[in-house]
Structure 1
């Protein structure tokens, strides 16, 4: 799955080791990939209701499966049909984050996963948010996505549906639970590894890129 396309560089520093973001193919809002991202966003409250209300776990997992399919499709279509857009780069990571935290919250409230895992994931995103002010002083909104971060999101998005499936019963469902926890552990570790990579990039930018003044010019 793709991850965090919102992490885009507003301007490129004069140093070759900071990767550039891909150019936009279109500024249109109503593209097929964007519609798919909107469908994914609509699925978030649907999943929460299914998981926490009537506890229709089969349908809840189905919503997550559709979300995963549309996530794969919107990236493929955007690249093949040249429909990569600024709004799409924002919608997709927002949807990813919402699904991760929706599943984490739902499964925690149902005592399927422990609270410490939630704390680890939330703390990582809080740490990432703390980097933004420093980046903005250098004219950046955030950083280019690292493949480790993409791998982390992939693991986490697949881990929780498998953990939920594992609570259907024994036998084959136990395999789902084991795989789900394997993805969760690896995903959480990669999530934090990606943070330290982003932290190193932020430190490099702060040390090498001139500060921007209030007029948006280098001081």
Structure 2
């Protein structure tokens, strides 16, 4: 297990920490946890690319850690009354679908498509929405819906890239 993968694994540990903090009334500490997860996401990718330590494990674990953290945050925001269930249902449908799609094809020997710029931009939009929502600031829900739209556009691009990548192999 290399350093970038260890950093990715640490994000899995941040998920229950976020949940405990947020659900026990510490939204600022929960936000710091989310931002730490975001920083570790950037850091593991940077180290992996810079040092040539990109692995199949990392390509699978990194988006899984991101998606599980995002689902935990969204579920918490729903429980806290900050976002409507419709937004959660649409987002969860996409996230769970992407996890299942990636896992299904990975375990059948297909190549996985790494994150692209639009996917990274979508993550930034989601993080912006989360900051606004956790700090109870205006615009958070609108930004969240923009993130959902971007995530579906990104999914379409991923599917096309996946088909191209695995057709060429």
Confirm whether residue 51 of structure 1 aligns to residue 22 of structure 2: yes
Query: How many residues were matched structurally?
Result: 168
Q: TM-score, normalised by structure 2?
A: 0.81
Tell me by how many angstroms 1:164 deviates: 0.7
Q: Is there any run of 5+ residues in structure 1 with no aligned partner, and where?
A: 1-28, 167-173, 211-219
| Change in CA separation of 1:78 and 1:116 when aligned onto 2, cut-off 3 Å | same
Q: Is 54-63 or 81-90 further displaced after alignment?
A: 81-90
SS state at 2:11 partner:
helix
Confirm whether residue 38 of structure 1 aligns to residue 9 of structure 2: yes
Q: Is there any run of 5+ residues in structure 2 with no aligned partner, and where?
A: none
Q: TM-score, normalised by structure 1?
A: 0.65
- Give the aligned CA root-mean-square deviation in angstroms: 2.9
Could you tell me how far apart the structure 1 residues matched to 2:82 and 2:114 are?
Answer: 34
Could you tell me how far apart the structure 1 residues matched to 2:27 and 2:73 are?
Answer: 12
Tell me by how many angstroms 1:132 deviates: 6.1
Matches within 5 A, 1:1-219: 29=1, 31-52=2-23, 54-128=24-98, 140=110, 142-166=112-136, 174=137, 177-178=138-139, 180-200=140-160, 209=167
Could you tell me how far apart the structure 1 residues matched to 2:95 and 2:43 are?
Answer: 26
Higher share in helix? 2
Tell me by how many angstroms 1:97 deviates: 0.3
| Change in CA separation of 1:195 and 1:163 when aligned onto 2, cut-off 3 Å | same
